Amino acid sequence: MAHHIETEALTKFYGRHRGIEELSLSAGPGEVFGFLGPNGAGKTTTIRLLMDLIRPTSGIIRVLGYDLRRDPVMARRRVGYLPGDLKLYQDMSGRELLAFLASLRPGSDVGYAGQLAGRLDLDLSRHVHDLSKGNKQKLGVVQAFMHRPDLLILDEPSSGLDPLVQREFHALVRETADAGGTVFFSSHVLDEVERVADRVGIILEGHLAVVDTVAALKSRALRVLELEFAAPVPAGPFRAVPGVREVSAHQAVLRCEVVGPVGELMRMASARGLVNVISHEPDLEQIFLSFTQGGAVHAA
CB under 8 A: which stretch of 28-36, 84-92, 236-244, 284-292 binds other proteins? 84-92
Contact between 271 and other proteins per CB under 8 A:
no
Contact between 16 and other proteins per CB under 8 A:
no
Of 106 and 236, which CB lies nearer to other proteins in the complex structure?
106
> According to CB under 8 A, which residues from 19 to 78 bind other proteins?
44, 48, 51-55, 72-74, 76-77
Contact between 160 and other proteins per CB under 8 A:
no
Quick one: which of 192, 90, 104, 85 has its CA closest to 146? 104
Contact between 103 and other proteins per CB under 8 A:
yes
Contact between 106 and other proteins per CB under 8 A:
yes
Contact between 85 and other proteins per CB under 8 A:
yes
Of 1 and 73, which CB lies nearer to other proteins in the complex structure?
73
Choose, by CB under 8 A, the member of 32, 61, 68, 79 that binds other proteins. Answer: 79
Report how far residue 75's alpha carbon sits from residue 127's, in angstroms, rounded to the nearest whole number.
31
Q: What is the binding site for other proteins (CB under 8 A)?
A: 44, 48, 51-55, 72-74, 76-77, 79, 81, 83, 85-89, 91, 100-101, 103-106, 143
